[in-house]
Amino acid sequence: MRKLLIIFLCACTLIGCSEYRVSDDPALQLVFSCDTLSFDTVFTAQGSATAQLKLYNPNSHALEIDRVWLTDHTAFQVNVDGEADLSRLTSLQINGGDSLFVFVRVDINPLNSNSPVLVTDQLHFHLTTGKTQQVELEAFGQNVIRIGNKGKTVVDDIVFSDTVPYLISDTLIVGGPMTIKPGARLYMHRNACIIAQGDISANGSLTQPILICGDRLERLFDSVPYRYAGGGWDGIYIRTGQPKTYSFQHVDILSGNVGLSCSSSCTTALPYLTMDGCRIHNHNKYGLVLQHVNALVTNTEISNCASYCVYCEGGKHDFIHSTVASYFGYTNIRVQSVSKEEKAAVYINNSPKNPQTRTSFINSIITGYLENQLELAFPTDQLYKGAFKGNYLKTDTIGLRYASDNIYWQKTDTADVFVNDYYKYKEYNYYDFRLDSLSPAIGIGDSIASLSYPTDKNGNSRAGLKPDAGCYQYQP
């Protein structure tokens, strides 16, 4: 009996230790978390974030790696299980059922091309069984024009072209005219901002929009790009004491702290801002701030800000066929570094200072997931000169004498306003503020007001149709 017990215990020991015994079976191999490790666009001479690759041994016996190497070894840097010198990896054992991590970065030298260039390499693993496995590495390198380093960069005037993207590292102060050509791309480093003191001409087009966003182009994790997280940079600030003009057409301003803040110290002749076909989206504080500025905002989406999407104080502001949607952080994944404040989508402050605030919304949408998305702050009705007509509004301020022909949200409403107002990251369904097929905003706009805007933000025609509220005409 004792002999049988000893044999049994030895057998259990051998079985329990099998995952530590290195196999010489050439049929066994490792499993990788991906066959190709891909990086998003990497700016030359800047370097990427670190990507992760997992090696897993699904076998019951251990496998040993006796050599790891890169084919080219010019752009990619690899760290295997804490070792950055691949020549030192001569006996790396992965036990049965165990795994290890490989960390990869890429640093691409300036290229002889203004267009993105694909850079590739291969990471090889040779096992003591004689088998060699490999993972493809790839990244797109992009030359950029760098502006600033640390501190402030002050220029008299500046022109941004569409030839090569720009990387703005810190604070850029433009004392005179600023021109942004169609198709230009401005990537902003963390905490970077633009302070404009002169006239602005940022006139993109439907086919060549202007992009202003953060410089983190990789993924935060899983299926979530960094551009989905607000606060990647600071903002655009227009500051003046003179009646300057600012034109923004087809400009996307994404994922900063503040989208566009336009403020003046003028009390008589005010600066004038026009925006058409623009998108201000996903900011940790405000979207569009207008203080003592006249503004015309058309066919524009202003969405998902932790505080007010639109703040108006002093000046005459007309919003026509625009969509203001406040769904910041409305998702099943924690992406944002700040929480949504209990703020309305639109705040209109009739300041006692001159000039009086006169803000109008025509054929527009103001909504969000809070019950009241329009906040009006002024002493008496008689002091307010604005108007609301042909809109879809989610507000409890519905008895105003200057509001007519609007559709108001009700708690009993069941139809969705938009295609998607909730971010489902596993389904890759990001926010989409085009109109849903049953949207209550369809066909409620004022036809006369829409005559001057025959196409929507995406170039779809409103001609011959009852116009929809918002910047997007419903497309069946």
What token pair was written down for 182?
């169609």
CATH topology of domain 18-142: Immunoglobulin-like (2.60.40)
Q: What is the pLDDT along the chain (476 residues), one digit of tens a residue?
A: 555 444 444 444 444 456 678 998 989 999 999 999 998 889 988 888 888 999 999 999 999 999 999 999 889 999 998 899 999 988 899 999 999 999 999 999 888 888 889 999 999 999 999 999 999 999 999 999 999 977 899 999 999 999 999 999 999 999 999 999 999 999 999 999 999 999 999 999 999 999 999 999 888 877 789 999 999 999 999 999 999 999 999 999 999 999 999 999 987 899 999 999 999 999 999 999 999 999 999 999 999 999 999 999 999 999 999 999 999 999 988 899 999 999 999 999 886 665 578 899 999 999 999 999 999 887 666 667 788 999 999 987 655 677 889 999 988 888 899 999 999 888 889 999 999 999 999 999 999 999 999 999 999 999 877 899 999 999 98
User: How far, in Å, CA of 12 to CA of 15, rounded?
Assistant: 5
Report residue 54 as tokens.
């997992």
Gap between the Cα atoms of 324 and 259, Å rounded? 13
Domain ranges of the chain: 18-142, 145-450
Q: How far apart are CA 164 and CA 45, in angstroms?
A: 15
DSSP string computed for 26-76: TT---EES-SEEE---EETTT-PPPEEEEEE--SSSBEEEEEEEESS-SSE
What pLDDT shows up at residue 40? 84
